[in-house]
Amino acid sequence: MNAQLSGRTAGVQLHPTSLPAGRLGDDAYRFVDWLAAAGQSWWQMLPLGPPDRARSPYKAKSAFAAWRGLLGDPAAPVSDDEIDAFRAREAFWIGDWERVAGGSRAVADQVRFDREWSALRAYARERGIGLIGDIPIYVAPGSADHLAWPQLFREGEVAGAPPDAYSDRGQLWGNPLYDWPALQRRRYAWWTERLRRTFALFDVARIDNFRGLVAYWAVPEGAPDARGGRWRRGPGRALFDAMSRELGDLALIAEDLGVITEPVERLRRSLGFPGMVVMQFGFDPDDPDGPHRLENHEADSVVYTGTHDHDTLRGWWESLPAATRDAAVTQIAAAGVEEPEPWWSMIRLAYSSPARLAMVQAQDVLGLGSEARMNIPGRATGSWRWQMAPGALTAEHAKRLRAAAEQAGRA
């Protein structure tokens, strides 16, 4: 387990675009104050890069640059000295971004972001709040990274996922795939610099689709769906060893959801990365040995009530089949965490997990339904748009969440 994630703690996931103003600034500082009052230790976010037309931060125009739309003060003055210092510090990627994003103004926006972010991060740290980021495994097609480093990507195949119980056609993501031998010849420098940038912004980061670094599903370019793909071998431990040599301890959470093979599990454990368990997956009567069931949770993991790809707890609860709901009610009663609202019972049930870190979504603290869901995978439009109403998270919410955290030894 990473040293940063030692002890029993709790946090809340909320992307900055879901703040009332949808950006940094006063709302972000108020949220940090609310987290501190609520006895929380972590604020988890989605990727910060410039999103695509569907507003997805997982298909950003850069794996390094932050989105101008997050700026609290996009017109703040920037000096030539600040720009020169930023160019020197971020020389690996800023030139590529400048060429794609519109010249020196794009650099000035990155200076503004770093200035605002550094102040917010310092403010959070003073109040005992750490920041957790998110690293999409793949870059977007046509992104600054794809255009600047074509030699690092394969031709003729794109990323996806094989058919499973949720989709008989698989998932066709369409992202460029890495040419791992080419990256290896360059000592994985691009990935090392990507993590260097990540840890300049965050205390810990979740690495998306961790299993794809052991083996990934490659789909022929132009295929109508993912059924014709094949498994190809990823870099495995060599990638992480190369990054560790340059960066030291890698404070990462491995997103290991889905069908996880023994080699994936072995790599995660050997690296000391906590994996993920999701409470919404933990009540299948036909899967008593599943890792998401509360009795199977381990300390070396992060328990989520749900992620940005899942329904809110209230929306999930209201759509449950009777057998699954009965299993959840039984588990809640056995743990002695019954609350008047089932979503609060689920928050307290997650807090009771042996997992060292417990994460809830802000929507679940507020008891919001499916209308507040952040993302529906596979839907091209309508996601990534939820914003919290001003003043929605109250002192009473903070008091209630703190009491739950204290009772579970997480405050």
Q: At 401, which amino acid appears?
A: L
For residue 17, report the phi and psi dihedrals to the nearest 5 degrees: -70, -15
Give residue for tokens 């600040």.
82
Buried b (16+ CB within 10 A) or exposed e, 300-337: bbbbbbbbbebbbbbbbbeebeeebbebbeebbeeeeb
Whether 12 and 359 have beta carbons less than 8 Å apart is answered as yes
Question: Can you tell me the distance from the alpha carbon of 30 to that of 27, in angstroms, rounded to the nearest whole number?
Answer: 5
Name the residue among 190, 300, 196 with its Cα closest to residue 244: 196
Q: Which of 82, 309, 318, 339 is catalytic?
A: 309
Q: What whole-number distance in Å separates Cα of residue 282 and Cα of residue 287?
A: 8
Active site residue 193: no
* Inter-helix orientation angle 94-101/80-89, to 10°: 120
Phi then psi dihedrals of residue 203, to 5 deg: -85, -35
Identify the active-site residue in 255, 256, 311, 364: 255
Backbone phi, psi, residue 55, to 5°: 75, 15
3-state class (DSSP) for residue 362: helix
At position 133, the amino acid (one-letter code) is: G
DSSP-assigned beta bridge partners for residue 164: 167
Distance CA 363, CA 13 (A): 9
CA proximity to 74, closest of 126, 44, 33, 111: 111
The residues near 28 (Cβ < 8 Å, ≥ 6 apart) are: 16, 19, 72, 120
CA distances from 409 to 10, 337, 358, 386 (A): 10, 14, 11, 31
Q: Which of 98, 208, 311, 364 is catalytic?
A: 208
Among all residues, which ones are annotated catalytic?
208, 255, 309
